[in-house]
Amino acid sequence: MNEKNVEYLKDQLKYTGFGDAMENALVENIQKGSPEFKLDHETKYGTDTVLTSLNFKKSEQSDMYFFNSYDMDIQKEGKPVEFSQTFYINRDNNITAKEAYNLMEGRAVNKDLKNKEGEVYNAWVKINFTESDDKGNFKLNHYHQNYGYNLEVSLAKHPIKELQNTEYKENLLASLKKGNVQSVTFVVNGAEKKQFVEANPHFKTINVYDVNMQRINTRESNNEKQSQSEGKSSQKDVKQKQDNDSEPSQTEDKTKTKKKKQSNPL
């Protein structure tokens, strides 16, 4: 058994989000010398049960094994599995198990990818549920850097409290780039309310949901941002007016001084 190959495969499992629970099964199958084998993995995200079958194959030229792909099914509570999707494994920058789940839920994931020439490029990836390949796998849409989607700019159009803190902002951006739906705090006219957001690169915006995960119209959310800005401007105007009212004007000071001089006897 090729020990270096085994350790490499163990690392691949961890970095792809499958942890170390399958390490013993991995070693056992490699020791058997089977030309190919599968490992089954099950986990839950919320109430969804995610069933994954990981595909391994032995090289025809050596004793090395390769983790080639994994097939994922999502089983909603009380519902049958709707479809399966295969995700292929490369040397690096693979789609992790959680990212695959997010993609199958219809969300977009931001990844550093490589083209045929080996050059790294950044793109948002999203499953196209209207088009499949000859193997029945849904195709992936890629929104490259020159597509013009800026997640940070899209977030800034909304009154999100977490954007005011550098650490919270960075965590929010990182989570959304992984395809997660993220809880945030909207601040409108001084009142805070919990909402959820997700990236939407296709329309160069973000999707906003209420606490019941009901979609909120983007225009409505932007109006909240405008209302918040107007509220701050109004407070500033009131404060400025109060400051002006509390201080005598230069004209009044000059008038008082002039009157005082005129009243002095010669």
- Summarised one tens digit per residue, pLDDT across range 170-201 is 999 999 999 999 999 999 999 999 999 999 99
Assigned domain for 260 exists: no
Based on the domain organization, do 128 and 168 belong to the same domain?
no
Domain that holds residue 23: 3-147
Q: Verify that 80 and 39 share a domain, yes or no.
A: yes
Instruction: Give the CA distances from residue 62 to residues 1, 29, 36, 57, in Å, rounded to whole numbers and listed in that order.
Output: 11, 16, 13, 11
Three-class SS of 46-72: CCEEEEEEEEEEECCCCCCEEEEEEEE
Handedness of CA 101, 142, 85, 15 (dihedral sign): negative
Q: Is 143 found in the same domain as 31?
A: yes
Cβ count within 10 A of residue 206: 21
What's phi and psi for 228, nearest 5 deg? -65, -45
| pLDDT tops 60 at residue 43 | yes
Given this model, what pLDDT does residue 218 score?
62
Q: How many CB atoms lie within 10 A of CB 48?
A: 15
Whether residue 159 is found in the same domain as residue 143? no
Give the pLDDT confidence score for residue 243 in this predicted structure.
52
Residue type for 140, please? L
Comparison of pLDDT for 107 and 230, the residue scoring more: 107
Domain for residue 45, yes or no? Answer: yes
